[in-house]
Chains A and B, each alone.
Chain A
């Protein structure tokens, strides 16, 4: 299955027998990877498959325990990121490493100022930036303040930063997580252009469709190993998914039509102003009925988090109203729970779990009331509940005393989901149910959500994975800048939804 090396030159990057351990965990084992000059090479794999570790070794954050790295055919040592940059390796991180109050120019020249006085370096940088923008069709105003740019442009600044430092090989780590579909397409066009100009690109992602759309070759990682390297043209989404998981997976969610009942959750003209005085929700109204899944699509940071937190009682509304059934929902997470509304938070590490706790302690987070005898905890009952949840959701390992941090992302998410539906809620609000969750667990979680819908629960689903929203939802609402831009049926096209995600009103698009 291995590809033939580029005929004219040594591979841009070559890894031979790279091994990396963390304690007892073997994060990378015997990695052989060859990335040819001037190709876009995708690396896919589930969370925890070792993609990030591998790239961190290449960028000098970690040292391999064994094996050799070759750049342009020469064996090299990469003790730190400075060395990586000197070898022409640039990295665009998933979370941007930008100084927001600085201008584009200042960000680009940061760390490469070329002397104690800025004037000359600044002029040189400006000229270079203009050349790069021209050569690669990556226009961006050098004097714009980075914090005020949309994320798509911020990412462009990150790429320019790497190119400015003379990167010949560019590593992008999950670059599309924060982009609209259209922005992602634009990014892929830029990457194509870079390749045509002779740059080499390594694209790390877990989205198989991006691999198909953007890459020339793809390597699949599973449990620290590279299990396949193929030309993209010769493979398919199904084959890649199978290689990632090690078995056949069902990519489509099977579900029957919804049979919606009465309204269970109503949001009326909700407004939220955050601590900085920024209006995060600008009058959102929506209704979720029993037996249906309403999905909220949108690029992250457009008010979805605030909406979920407002409904859950964590964030008070500045105006508007939220009703659970016919009753007004009070701004208190405990009281909202009493009204049979369950909440799977977007970020399980920040909010949904206490990772330092044992699994059983997290199994009752927020529901302690039913697990006490006087002032004391009913430890037997807590343990029993945790065991039942774990059996119900096939959490592995099924050990209630294991620290939560030691479970994989998918199993952590199962613990949260199990906890929230164990109390048989009427309304379930779910944020990013499958973020950082492996493909096998995604399947299980999706199936579960559909079952809950069919059991008559009202479900509000927020996800930045457009595919997920479309696959699960009976109705899709698109949020942009704190507002609902419009509603799309389950049959709406991705382009239609994508336009609304970019802030184009429904109807205006037609």
Chain B
């Protein structure tokens, strides 16, 4: 017999908040240990991320990438697959975006390029997820191993392409030429100004809207479509899925293609939205942050968006913090990220038994 389930709000809100608080508490202790004031650090971090217009713009820019990669992990997760190759899929997705932009930017308007670039990014990201998915479905090669290996292959492939193929002749840095106006997504500064936020030169761009649409789309997919139902069945009980006539090969491959496609879409944000060129290592760890985001968001699109915003705050605020307090480097943010993964993911159930007892006790007192 298992303990009675926790009330829903405890499971969905209190528990993640508790885990998060502990992660920050430990991080605060580390700040204290290096001789800085954790409260002041928190203040700088929050102000840097949310206290001024440009900060908000940057926070949303980072959050955009994390929404995509977080959704990628969440979708695969529902099908019982742990796709930790978002980093590589996004990187290769960038190639898809760049190829479209390079081909069209001189000839058409951005709004013609954008949907095709999105398709290109998704297709390349999905293609990069296909091989691990197929190997998992047919040979049982675990996606956790193969997708992470594919991150390295992607890194090697991209460096070769950037150095030997895409870099314009005579240029030393490994990057493509800069796209013309037809290959650039519009910034959202006008839209943000409408709600009274001056984002200045922050790179928050149209892909944020696409990210929010993608979150809604994932919600529809998972809970409203037949495919989503089959994915959830497969993820929750493989034998029951086979019994119900779901093909493990098909569902594994399809789930991973969608996951890789979402990771690939992430490339729109930095490549077409900010840098307007394909850069060496432009993903910058967003693929891995997506794992933390999906874990924290409990694989629910709304949770993913919330967790992506949180990590956006951490990234932007962390950068400001590193600027103001040289003793606190960006590595600190990586550490906080690690702590969040530790407490929200690996130790997800750390507080569950205690909370279970607490609420069982409350229920008993009520009954008595």
Q: Which residues of A contact B (CB under 8 A)?
A: 21-25, 27, 52-53, 312, 314, 332-335, 337, 343, 345, 350-357, 361, 365-366, 368, 372, 375-377, 379, 406
Return the chain B residue nearest A338 by Cβ.
Answer: B245
A365 lies within 8 A of B242 (CB): no
Return the chain B residue nearest A27 by Cβ.
Answer: B1
Return the chain B residue nearest A375 by Cβ.
Answer: B225
Among the interface residues B244, B363, B367, which one has the most CB atoms of the partner chain A within 10 A?
B244
A333 lies within 8 A of B245 (CB): yes
A352 lies within 8 A of B243 (CB): yes
- Besides the known contacts A343-B243, A354-B237, A375-B226, 6 further A-B residue pairs in the complex with CB atoms under 8 A apart: A22-B2, A23-B5, A24-B360, A356-B237, A365-B233, A376-B224
B225 lies within 8 A of A312 (CB): no
A23 lies within 8 A of B225 (CB): no
A353 lies within 8 A of B356 (CB): no
A377 lies within 8 A of B225 (CB): yes
Residues of chain A with a CB closer than 8 A to B363's CB: 23-24
Which residues of B184-233 have CB atoms within 8 Å of chain A's CB atoms? 220, 224-227, 229-230, 232-233
Residues of chain A with a CB closer than 8 A to B220's CB: 376
B229 lies within 8 A of A377 (CB): yes
**Residue from A354, A372, A406 in contact with B233 in the complex, judged by beta carbons closer than 8 Å:** A354
**Residue from A21, A23, A27, A334 in contact with B245 in the complex, judged by beta carbons closer than 8 Å:** A334
Q: Within the assembled complex, what's the spacing in Å between the Cα atoms of A361 and B225?
A: 12
Residues of chain B with a CB closer than 8 A to A352's CB: 240, 243
Among the interface residues A23, A27, A335, which one has the most CB atoms of the partner chain B within 10 A?
A23
Residues of chain B with a CB closer than 8 A to A52's CB: 1
B170 within 8 A of A: no
Q: Within the assembled complex, what's the spacing in Å between the Cα atoms of A23 and B361?
A: 8
Q: Within the assembled complex, what's the spacing in Å between the Cα atoms of A354 and B80?
A: 13
B237 lies within 8 A of A355 (CB): yes
With both chains docked as a complex, state the minimum distance between the C-beta of A341 and any C-beta of chain B, in angstroms. 12
Residues of chain B with a CB closer than 8 A to A366's CB: 243-245
Which residues of B306-330 have CB atoms within 8 Å of chain A's CB atoms? none
With both chains docked as a complex, state the minimum distance between the C-beta of B4 and any C-beta of chain A, in angstroms. 2
B229 lies within 8 A of A361 (CB): yes
Main secondary structure of the interface of B (DSSP, over half): helix
Residues of chain A with a CB closer than 8 A to B359's CB: 23
Q: Within the assembled complex, what's the spacing in Å between the Cα atoms of A356 and B227?
A: 18
Return the chain B residue nearest A362 by Cβ.
Answer: B240
Q: Which A-B residue pairs are the 10 nearest by beta carbons?
A: A23-B4, A334-B245, A366-B244, A333-B245, A351-B239, A354-B237, A354-B236, A23-B360, A351-B243, A356-B236
Q: Within the assembled complex, what's the spacing in Å between the Cα atoms of A375 and B356?
A: 39
B364 within 8 A of A: yes
B226 lies within 8 A of A376 (CB): yes
Q: Within the assembled complex, what's the spacing in Å between the Cα atoms of A343 and B240?
A: 12
B169 within 8 A of A: no
B229 lies within 8 A of A314 (CB): no
Residues of chain A with a CB closer than 8 A to B284's CB: none
Residues of chain A with a CB closer than 8 A to B2's CB: 22
A332 lies within 8 A of B245 (CB): yes
> Could you give 28 example pairs across A and B, Cβ below 8 Å?
A21-B360, A22-B2, A22-B3, A22-B4, A23-B3, A23-B4, A23-B5, A23-B363, A24-B360, A24-B363, A332-B245, A333-B245, A337-B245, A345-B243, A350-B240, A352-B243, A354-B232, A354-B237, A356-B236, A356-B237, A361-B229, A365-B240, A366-B244, A372-B226, A375-B225, A376-B225, A377-B226, A379-B224
Return the chain B residue nearest A357 by Cβ.
Answer: B236
A314 lies within 8 A of B243 (CB): yes
Residues of chain B with a CB closer than 8 A to A345's CB: 243
Q: Within the assembled complex, what's the spacing in Å between the Cα atoms of A24 and B362?
A: 10
**Residue from A24, A312, A314, A343 in contact with B4 in the complex, judged by beta carbons closer than 8 Å:** A24
With both chains docked as a complex, state the minimum distance between the C-beta of A16 and any C-beta of chain B, in angstroms. 21
Which residues of B289-317 have CB atoms within 8 Å of chain A's CB atoms? none
With both chains docked as a complex, state the minimum distance between the C-beta of B160 and any C-beta of chain A, in angstroms. 39
Q: Within the assembled complex, what's the spacing in Å between the Cα atoms of A52 and B2?
A: 13
A21 lies within 8 A of B364 (CB): yes
Q: Within the assembled complex, what's the spacing in Å between the Cα atoms of A377 and B231?
A: 13
Q: Within the assembled complex, what's the spacing in Å between the Cα atoms of A52 and B5?
A: 20
Residues of chain B with a CB closer than 8 A to A332's CB: 245
A25 lies within 8 A of B236 (CB): no
Residues of chain A with a CB closer than 8 A to B360's CB: 21-24
Return the chain B residue nearest A373 by Cβ.
Answer: B226
Return the chain B residue nearest A406 by Cβ.
Answer: B5
Among the interface residues B1, B240, B356, B363, which one has the most CB atoms of the partner chain A within 10 A?
B240
Residues of chain A with a CB closer than 8 A to B232's CB: 354, 357
Residues of chain A with a CB closer than 8 A to B356's CB: 23
B227 lies within 8 A of A375 (CB): yes
B226 lies within 8 A of A312 (CB): no
Q: Within the assembled complex, what's the spacing in Å between the Cα atoms of A24 and B236?
A: 26
Residues of chain A with a CB closer than 8 A to B243's CB: 312, 314, 333, 343, 345, 351-352, 365-366
Q: Within the assembled complex, what's the spacing in Å between the Cα atoms of A332 and B244?
A: 10
Return the chain B residue nearest A62 by Cβ.
Answer: B1
With both chains docked as a complex, state the minimum distance between the C-beta of B51 and any C-beta of chain A, in angstroms. 42
A333 lies within 8 A of B229 (CB): no
Residues of chain B with a CB closer than 8 A to A21's CB: 360, 364
With both chains docked as a complex, state the minimum distance between the C-beta of B187 and any C-beta of chain A, in angstroms. 34
Residues of chain B with a CB closer than 8 A to A356's CB: 236-237
With both chains docked as a complex, state the minimum distance between the C-beta of B112 and any C-beta of chain A, in angstroms. 27
With both chains docked as a complex, state the minimum distance between the C-beta of A373 and any C-beta of chain B, in angstroms. 10
With both chains docked as a complex, state the minimum distance between the C-beta of A401 and any C-beta of chain B, in angstroms. 12
With both chains docked as a complex, state the minimum distance between the C-beta of B223 and any C-beta of chain A, in angstroms. 8
Q: Within the assembled complex, what's the spacing in Å between the Cα atoms of A23 and B239?
A: 30
Return the chain B residue nearest A349 by Cβ.
Answer: B237
With both chains docked as a complex, state the minimum distance between the C-beta of B12 and any C-beta of chain A, in angstroms. 15
Among the interface residues A334, A354, A361, which one has the most CB atoms of the partner chain B within 10 A?
A354
Q: Within the assembled complex, what's the spacing in Å between the Cα atoms of A379 and B243?
A: 22
Residues of chain A with a CB closer than 8 A to B224's CB: 376-377, 379
Return the chain B residue nearest A364 by Cβ.
Answer: B229
**Residue from A53, A314, A406 in contact with B242 in the complex, judged by beta carbons closer than 8 Å:** A314
With both chains docked as a complex, state the minimum distance between the C-beta of A34 and any C-beta of chain B, in angstroms. 25
With both chains docked as a complex, state the minimum distance between the C-beta of B251 and any C-beta of chain A, in angstroms. 13
Q: Within the assembled complex, what's the spacing in Å between the Cα atoms of A368 and B225?
A: 10
Residues of chain B with a CB closer than 8 A to A314's CB: 242-243
Which residues of B223-282 have CB atoms within 8 Å of chain A's CB atoms? 224-227, 229-230, 232-233, 236-237, 239-240, 242-245
Q: Within the assembled complex, what's the spacing in Å between the Cα atoms of A21 and B360?
A: 9
Which residues of B50-108 have CB atoms within 8 Å of chain A's CB atoms? none
Residues of chain A with a CB closer than 8 A to B227's CB: 375
Which residues of B1-40 have CB atoms within 8 Å of chain A's CB atoms? 1-5
Q: Within the assembled complex, what's the spacing in Å between the Cα atoms of A354 and B220?
A: 20
Residues of chain A with a CB closer than 8 A to B245's CB: 332-335, 337, 366
With both chains docked as a complex, state the minimum distance between the C-beta of B80 and any C-beta of chain A, in angstroms. 11
Return the chain A residue nearest B360 by Cβ.
Answer: A23
Residues of chain A with a CB closer than 8 A to B3's CB: 22-23
Q: Within the assembled complex, what's the spacing in Å between the Cα atoms of A245 and B224?
A: 41
Residues of chain A with a CB closer than 8 A to B364's CB: 21, 24
Among the interface residues B225, B237, B245, which one has the most CB atoms of the partner chain A within 10 A?
B245
Residues of chain B with a CB closer than 8 A to A53's CB: 1
Residues of chain B with a CB closer than 8 A to A27's CB: 1
With both chains docked as a complex, state the minimum distance between the C-beta of B362 and any C-beta of chain A, in angstroms. 10
Return the chain B residue nearest A350 by Cβ.
Answer: B239
Q: Within the assembled complex, what's the spacing in Å between the Cα atoms of A345 and B242?
A: 12
With both chains docked as a complex, state the minimum distance between the C-beta of A377 and any C-beta of chain B, in angstroms. 6
Residues of chain B with a CB closer than 8 A to A24's CB: 4, 360, 363-364, 367
Residues of chain A with a CB closer than 8 A to B244's CB: 333, 365-366, 368
